[in-house]
Amino acid sequence: MDQLRSPRFCDLPPAQVWAILLDENCHLASISTMYRVLRSHGELRERRAQAAHPPRAPSGPC
């Protein structure tokens, strides 16, 4: 979880985290295990920072 929550990887999906760590000769877990760990901590969601759009004002009469 420390690696997946780190600022370096916080916006990346587990498959990309796994590939980057593997390129650095660091194999912590499989991709499916990373997904299981995220799911068990309730963090299996969109990991990228999302823009919040302001609510639209209702349009006038048609």
- pLDDT tier at 42 (50, 70, 90 boundaries)? confident
* pLDDT recorded at residue 13: 87
Burial 6-28 (b: 16+ CB within 10 A, else e): eeebeeebbeebbeebeeeeeee
pTM: 0.66
Q: Per-residue pLDDT for 51 more than 90?
A: no
* pLDDT recorded at residue 4: 86
* pLDDT recorded at residue 22: 93
Contacts of 52 (CB under 8 A, 6+ apart): none
Average pLDDT score over residue span 14-39: 91
